[in-house]
Amino acid sequence: DTGVSQDPRHKITKRGQNVTFRCDPISEHNRLYWYRQTLGQGPEFLTYFQNEAQLEKSRLLSDRFSAERPKGSFSTLEIQRTEQGDSAMYLCASSLQTGGFNEQYFGPGTRLTVT
C-alpha cells in the first residue's frame, strides 16, 4: 500500500492556461474526493466519486473545473482558463466505503500557482 499519490506536486502556470492534475487513490478504495485548500483555510470540498460515478459537486466547482475518474481508478481534475484566484493546494483523498463512517486518506496535494 503506497498511499494516495498526486502528480504533479507543484504547478506554475500563466493566467488563461489550462492545467490538469492526477490523483491515484489507494488501490481498493472506491471513493475518491477532491478538496481545495487556500492559505490560512482548511480544505474545502470540491467533488467526489463512487467508483467512476461523480456523485456530488460543490458550488465552488465552477464551469471551468472538470473532474473525471475513468474506470473507477485514478482521477483527473482539469482547470480551464486559469485565474489567479485558482492558486491553491488541491488535495485528493480516497476511502473504502463499506457503510457507516470510513476515514479518508489524503495525498500530498498539488500546489497550483497562477501568475
Partner 1 sequence: DQQVKQNSPSLSVQEGRISILNCDYTNSMFDYFLWYKKYPAEGPTFLISISSIKDKNEDGRFTVFLNKSAKHLSLHIVPSQPGDSAVYFCAARVTGGGNKLTFGTGTQLKVEL
Binding region for partner 1 (CB under 8 A): 4, 31, 33, 35, 40-45, 48, 55-56, 91, 93, 95, 97, 101-109
What is 38-75 written as a DSSP string?
-TTS--EEEEEEETTEEEEE-TTS-TTEEEE-GGGS-E
- Identify residue 21 by its one-letter amino acid code: F
Rounded to a whole number of angstroms, the minimum distance from the CB of residue 96 to partner 1 is 11
Whose Cβ is closer to partner 1: residue 70's or residue 100's?
100
Helix, strand, coil fractions of the chain, as percent rounded to 5: 5, 50, 45
Whose Cβ is closer to partner 1: residue 109's or residue 114's?
109
Rounded to a whole number of angstroms, the minimum distance from the CB of residue 53 to partner 1 is 11
